[in-house]
Amino acid sequence: MKIQRTLPPSAAPLSWGDILRGLVAPLGRHALEKRTEEFQKHFGVQYVFWITSGKAALAVILSALTQLSSRRKVVIPAYTCFSVPSAVVKSGLKIGLCDVEPDTLDFNADDLEKKLDEDTLAVVPTHLFGLPVDVEHVKQYARKNGIYVIEDVAQAFGGMSDGKPLGTRGDVAFLSFGRGKNVTCGSGGVILTNDRNIGTAIQSVYDRLSTESAVDALGNWIQVVAMRLLLNPKLYWIPAGLPFLRLGETRFYTDFPMRRMDTIRAGLLAGWKTRLQRDTQVRRERAQTFLHRLQKSIAAESAQPYCSKEAVYLRLPVCAFTRDEKNLLCTLSKQLGLGISPLYPGAIKDIPELEGELSRERTPGATRLAECLMTFPTHDLVTQHDIERICNAAQDILDKGDRKKTVPTEETQRSMAPSRAKRIS
């Protein structure tokens, strides 16, 4: 455990006022109704269902869709958060993998056409890291075969596509309010749809779910308080240095609870729209600063940062030239507290718990991303000096003109030392 300024890979803006509103929300008992009305208006949807996590929201959707079709395969990106295949398995359905394009993080169109067959129940286009993918393109394939489109907006709340909010393109969508998202209530999720048949089926599943207990709801609130305190870069070295907390780990597991959201979580989401607008602006500013700095200092062949005018940049994804370079930079980041994350440890087909079922799948795009993709922090705790330190580290390791380097120079390490810098306004 090293005492130093340490950036969390992701952080959400949450004031003490927000936290207090969550605690007192049960006294009013109308928080969930208010959030429902707000989301119906914002997304222009009729059906809104509040769940205790994003992966549980996806599992509820899938359970509902099995009432409308006898098909049993769900096609997901071959590189995505492990929560997605966890929800598919939890629902008793079969996983189908579609490879992704390393250049865009979107589905590989040729592979998608092959994978959407007569046994496919649904396909899940995912706006990874807040970068919009082409849902309309997916719908063209899906409509031909009677396949449902589930839009995964877990990492892209606030994103837009052609003037419409992400989450309104598919037949049904889900969002996440977990600790690493741009708007959080500790843990939580929501389901959105305008489709009457889907909405009715989801309602039948939703009605059978229990509501989060008062003890668990209060426990989540206490975790939010701890998160608010320890996400401060001056203190984040404490949780980051405790291995048993397993911060940043991506795990596949199916024993997660599926419950209706409680009033405390709904209260924590009060003022979400203002928080979301501010957070989106901040993340876009940080991302643009990173992109400008990286494009000036690193050869295009050495690393690929992803850019999109409509992205919300929950994190800035950057693809290194080789796996070794990614590992070197992530190791250096851990040493210096730079907040760079290696992200998912492998492609979906390489998850040990799924071995045998998917291991023979050929997904070269996903394998490339698993080996070389990392993310830079974009939240409002990142200062101008933090960006300089991160970019200096990236330049020293990723610069194509100096492939023989394995560690940063002493001069570069000095330039990456923390300082008391003002935040970017």
pLDDT, tens digit (0-9, with 9 covering 90-100), for 52-64: 999 999 999 999 9
- 232: in domain: no
Radius of gyration of the chain (CA): 21
Please tell me the pTM assigned to this model.
0.92
Strands of 79-159, DSSP E: 94-98, 120-123, 148-152
- 238: in domain: no
95 with 194, same domain: the answer is yes
198 with 279, same domain: the answer is no
> C-alpha distances in angstroms, 207 versus 140, 200, 231?
33, 11, 36
Please report which confidence band the pLDDT of residue 340 belongs to, taking 50, 70 and 90 as the band edges.
very high
State which of 188, 206, 224 marks the end of a domain: 206
52 with 191, same domain: the answer is yes
- 90: in domain: yes
What is the rounded end-to-end Cα distance, in angstroms, of the chain?
A: 32
Q: Alpha-carbon distance 152 to 170, whole Å?
A: 9
Please report which confidence band the pLDDT of residue 299 belongs to, taking 50, 70 and 90 as the band edges.
low
> C-alpha distances in angstroms, 359 versus 355, 370, 373?
6, 15, 21
Count of residues for the chain?
425
179 with 323, same domain: the answer is no
87 with 187, same domain: the answer is yes
Q: Supply the pLDDT for residue 109.
A: 94
Average pLDDT over residues 377-400: 92
Please report which confidence band the pLDDT of residue 337 belongs to, taking 50, 70 and 90 as the band edges.
very high
Average pLDDT over residues 338-359: 91
Q: Alpha-carbon distance 15 to 335, whole Å?
A: 29
- 359: in domain: yes
DSSP string, 38-95: HHHHHHT-SEEEEES-HHHHHHHHHHHHTTT----EEEEESSS-THHHHHHHHTT-EE
Q: Alpha-carbon distance 84 to 27, whole Å?
A: 35
Q: Supply the pLDDT for residue 358.
A: 86
Better-predicted residue by pLDDT, 50 or 398: 50
Helix (H, G, I), strand (E, B) or coil at 222: helix
CATH of the domain at 57: 3.40.640.10
- 135: in domain: yes
177 with 31, same domain: the answer is yes
CA 138 to chain CA centroid, nearest Å? 20
278 with 160, same domain: the answer is no
24 with 144, same domain: the answer is yes
- 72: in domain: yes
Q: Alpha-carbon distance 211 to 405, whole Å?
A: 55
Pair type for strands 189-193 and 303-305: unpaired
With a cut of 90, say whether residue 378 has pLDDT above it: yes
CATH of the domain at 407: 3.90.1150.10
Q: Supply the pLDDT for residue 137.
A: 93
Cross-strand bridge partners of residue 119: none
With a cut of 60, say whether residue 411 has pLDDT above it: no
**The domain containing residue 352 runs over which residues?**
273-415
State which of 206, 236, 255 marks the end of a domain: 206
312 with 200, same domain: the answer is no
DSSP 341: B
Q: Supply the pLDDT for residue 302.
A: 65
Q: What percent of the chain has pLDDT over 90?
A: 81
194 with 298, same domain: the answer is no
- 251: in domain: no
State which of 206, 230, 250 marks the end of a domain: 206
Q: Supply the pLDDT for residue 45.
A: 97
- 242: in domain: no
189 with 327, same domain: the answer is no
57 with 135, same domain: the answer is yes
Give the total number of structural domains in the chain.
Answer: 2
Could you report the per-residue pLDDT of 222-251, keeping only the tens digit for each? 999 999 999 999 999 999 988 887 887 888
